Amino acid sequence: MMVKSKIALVALVSSIAFSANVNNANAGLLGEFYLGGSIHSADTDNNDKSDSGYSVAFGWELPIPVLDIRAEIEYNKMGDAKDNNDVEYESIMANAYIDIPFPTPLLSPYVGAGVGKITDGTVNVGGPVGDVELEEDGIGYQYMVGLDINIPATPFYTSLEYRKIVNPFTVEGGIGEDDLEQDVVSLKARYVF
């Protein structure tokens, strides 16, 4: 009876170990998925104040042997338009990143770009005018450069990132006719599973 228990225990442990190896092998074939979030500080063109914001993202690290490529869908909420010259909007962006080879695995510089729908735009122009709804939703784009910092022996990454966001908004009444551009610095976190 003792021998049967030991055999059953060995079989159970072996099957768990085998299934873990199969899952890891499949993860390598399929790539890895991640959840991320960030907080932003943004300077808008022709504005002397900073706006803040946040984003959440779901992404996929593609299993391409030669290149480290990531693709993600990101929801972004920027600003609150409570004070003069504040800008507020939401966006859903499709982003792609390429990690640049670096001599240490703890640091990984990257570049990226994204395109998506930007909605619910408001700018507070101050004075008696107050909040002005931006004319229409539209397609915006962004490009990014950053540095990933790998936390050793964990599936966590932190990043410091600069991005330039170009929104398609113009303000009603001819107050402004150019695309709204923002310089954004982000602190990001990513969990790979």
| pLDDT tens by residue, the chain, 193 residues | 555 555 554 444 444 434 333 334 445 678 899 999 999 998 876 666 678 899 999 999 998 878 889 999 999 998 876 666 677 889 999 999 999 988 988 999 999 999 999 887 776 666 555 566 665 688 999 999 999 999 888 999 999 999 999 887 665 544 445 567 889 999 999 999 8
> Which pTM value belongs to this model?
0.77
Strand partners, 182: 44, 165
Of residues 144, 140, 139, 68, the one with CA closest to residue 108: 68
What is d(CA 73, CA 111) in angstroms, rounded to the nearest whole number?
16
Strands 156-167 and 131-133: unpaired
